Amino acid sequence: MAMEATCTEEVQLRHVETDVLIPKMMREKAKERCAEKVEAFNHCCKDSGFFMVFKCREENAALKECLTIHYKDPAFFEQCKQEYIQEKLEFERTGIPSKNRKQKLPTSM
């Protein structure tokens, strides 16, 4: 009995997808959601130079806290999983990679 993946619930994901690719998507989206804290930390590091380890503790802690909230959120994981599945199904249907994957390729080989 052959089953077609007509619904995202039926798609079987490989270990690398659930343990590597979806968490990677989560990290990228969490950085977007924590953009203000990422910017504050980056700004502090640029201004502090060699002493950033000591001077940017507060910004680093705020950034880690923001990111960790998203990393540990099962609803966020599920949202990213469903988005990943949609991208995967679209790629299988068209053979065209998503914009996000295309942007990660080097421009010169």
pLDDT digits (tens, 9 = 90+) for 48-106: 888 888 899 999 999 999 999 999 999 999 999 999 999 999 988 888 887 644 554 45
Q: Which residue has the higher pLDDT, 50 or 8?
A: 50
Q: How far is CA 108 from CA 104, 105, in A?
A: 12, 9
Q: Which residue has the tokens 């705020």?
A: 62
Alpha-carbon gap, residue 106 to 109, rounded angstroms? 7
Residue-level pLDDT at 88: 92
Sequence-ordered alpha helix ranges (H) in 34-73: 35-48, 52-55, 57-71
Domain limits, the chain = 21-94
Do 52 and 44 form a contact (C-beta atoms < 8 A)?
yes
Tell the burial category of 45 from Cβ atoms under 10 Å away from its Cβ (0-12, 13-18, 19+): middle
How big, in percent rounded to 5, are the helix, strand and coil portions of the chain?
Answer: 75, 0, 25
